[in-house]
Amino acid sequence: MVANYLIGLREGLEAALVVSILVAYLVKTGRRDLLPALWVGVTVAAAASLAFGALLTFGPNGLSFEAQEAIGGTLSIVAVGLITWMIFWMAKTARHLKSDLQHKLDDAIAAGRKAVVVMALLAVGREGLETALFLWAGAKATSSTTKPLLGAALGIATAVLLAWLMYRGAVKLNLRVFFAWTGLFLVFVAAGVLSYGVHDLQEAGILPGLNNLAFDVSSTVPPSSWYGTLLKGIFNFTPATTWLQLVAYVAYLVPVLAIFVRTTWGHHTPAPAAPAQAPATV
């Protein structure tokens, strides 16, 4: 639930910030007449995200166990790829998000009302589809639906409240720092989802090694215990982990974590200062 809360908070805040930036820019530039078109795009994006989540949840129900596991494992790996791209993209562009959106909105305004609808649809829809896919993968990994959805709903509600307070000027938030630390946490979450996706593909018979366990600490960390549930809910930790799961987890976590830390907090060597010019002699 904690992991899904942070996912909902991060993705919800990003989407809410996008909407608030677009609304504020239309109000500031005196184009309130385009606000209905903007809200149409936002509404369609939200509806498409909900429909996509429902399709992921109820679509495979009539399939065989192997087919469901194959779909679940494949989509979990796709979700890891998307969330990884999102983490690095937002860490890089958080400080320029406002100016980039305003430039795109200027182009859409010049093209007409329909372009504003499409621009809002794409800007918000991308966040919604990514959120739906990753929350579904997280819910499947924890073998539960209620708690992950509740955590995500609370995170999104918190994000909307924060975005509204920021829009009103009541709260100031360093977005670069926020997305950096939540991105760091999501790297660990994504590694757990990848490991569980590999396990799904093993259960489907697509990948080998289902019975080759690297470790089994079920007696020390029972899945039904509160700490086992906590580790499962946050990091998708599995007490009985196969060698292939462990290799996938480490192969993802180590390089991605190293690259993320270096690109986010790495110290850049300042450019050497130009040599001082001697004063001209008159």
| Number of domains, the chain | 1
Beta-bridged to residue 215, according to DSSP, are 241
Report helix, strand or coil for 240.
strand
Distance CA 241, CA 246 (A): 7
Distance CA 210, CA 204 (A): 10
Distance CA 232, CA 225 (A): 10
Please determine, for residue 282, whether its predicted confidence score (pLDDT) is greater than 50: no
pLDDT at 245: 92
Report helix, strand or coil for 242.
strand
Please determine, for residue 251, whether its predicted confidence score (pLDDT) is greater than 80: yes
Is 276 part of a structural domain of the chain?
no
pLDDT at 207: 92
Is 81 part of a structural domain of the chain?
yes
Q: Mean of the pLDDT values across residues 67-95?
A: 83
Among 94-98, 163-167, 215-219, 266-270, top mean pLDDT goes to 215-219
pLDDT at 243: 94
Closest CA to 141 of 53, 219, 65, 238: 238
Domain interval for residue 173: 2-265
Please determine, for residue 1, whether its predicted confidence score (pLDDT) is greater than 70: no
| pTM, two decimal places | 0.74
Is 279 part of a structural domain of the chain?
no
Among 2-11, 93-102, 214-223, top mean pLDDT goes to 214-223
Distance CA 48, CA 54 (A): 10
Closest CA to 19 of 77, 114, 131, 97: 97
pLDDT at 2: 67
pLDDT digits (tens, 9 = 90+) for 4-46: 777 778 778 888 888 888 888 888 888 888 899 999 999 999 8
Taking residue 67's Cβ as centre, other Cβ atoms within 10 Å add up to: 12
Least confident range of 85-89, 137-141, 202-206, 250-254: 137-141
CB-side neighbour CA atoms (13 Å) of 248: 24
- 75: which 2 tokens? 């989509």
Is 280 part of a structural domain of the chain?
no
Check residues 273 and 64 and name the one with the higher pLDDT.
Answer: 64
Is 274 part of a structural domain of the chain?
no
Is 40 part of a structural domain of the chain?
yes
pLDDT digits (tens, 9 = 90+) for 150-196: 777 888 888 888 888 877 776 677 777 877 888 888 888 888 889 98
Is 30 part of a structural domain of the chain?
yes
Q: Mean of the pLDDT values across residues 123-151?
A: 73
Listing DSSP states for 182-239 in one string gives: HHHHHHHHHHHHHHHHHHHHHHTTSSS-TT-EEEE-TTTS-TTSHHHHHHHHHH---S
Is 239 part of a structural domain of the chain?
yes
Check residues 225 and 121 and name the one with the higher pLDDT.
Answer: 121
Share of residues in the chain with pLDDT > 70 (%): 87
- 54: which 2 tokens? 């429902």
